[in-house]
Amino acid sequence: MVIVFDIGNTNIKMGVFDGDELLYTLRMASTNKTGDEYWLLIKDMLAVKNISPRDVEGVIISSVNPNLNYTFEHMVETYFGTRPLTVGAGLKSGLIIKYDNPKELGADRVAGCVAAYKLYGAPCIVIDCGTATTFNVISPDGEFLGGAISFGLKAASSSLADTAARLPKVELSAPKSAIGKTTITNMQSGIIFGYSGMIESMVARLKKESGLLSARVIATGGIADIVNKCVSVIDVVDRTLTLRGLNILYNMNKR
């Protein structure tokens, strides 16, 4: 079995794979826990699924949260008895990175693009609706051409409520119409439909600039399902895309 960790700014996602099959997932908050504290959470989850650390042949980590890198690397070495692979420069991905400085490209974006390219084909545009929203463009030849980074929906919604004294925090769900009749539905309309409009506009612009008009659009992230109901440009929603990409990367690079 292989365990993959996607360490983000808000959450840590963990997946347990048996070959290509994703058996289990776990989500934890990205807090300042020690490696021992994270291990207790992980150990309990594995025990519930009757998995022993001895069953784990390897671990791979992608991280955009440098504060947790050492914590997880040390935890894996201590409790799984193996040195984890980490997504970064020098790791084979099967993609040709056209970034001016490939080292700047987020590890989670690499993993998501690897999975999209391998599982859904290219050309494609990968959208990750997470703490930030990232757009990634991949050519038919597996070239990562670049993309865009924008605000995340949850962060934008929280910021609106935090900075406007009379506006409450609202549930992230689409109202029945764009013309709201209450403060809550006004906010939901602006937040959800406004964000969806940004997604549609960016996809159209990326397709036009790249010339990849037939590119499939694959969306992932916690709110991808919400957005998909409000737009017509998304072809596939795969909330496990990054985890699957990490498993592919592990198998490409395992020692």
> Is residue 108 annotated as part of the catalytic site, yes or no?
yes
Cα distance between residue 125 and residue 129, in whole Å: 13
Assign 26 to helix, strand or coil: strand
In this predicted structure, what is the pLDDT of residue 131? 86
- The secondary element (H helix, E strand) that includes residue 203 is helix 194-210
Tokens in use for 44?
Answer: 């309990």
In this predicted structure, what is the pLDDT of residue 233? 97
Tokens in use for 104?
Answer: 């700047």
What mean pLDDT is predicted for residues 143-154? 95
Among the listed residues 108, 128, 162, 235, the single catalytic one is 108
Give per-residue pLDDT as tens, 102-131. Answer: 889 999 999 999 999 999 999 999 999 988
Give per-residue pLDDT as tens, 170-211. Answer: 988 899 999 999 999 999 999 999 999 999 999 999 999 999
At residue 90 the predicted structure's pLDDT band, cuts being 50, 70 and 90, is confident
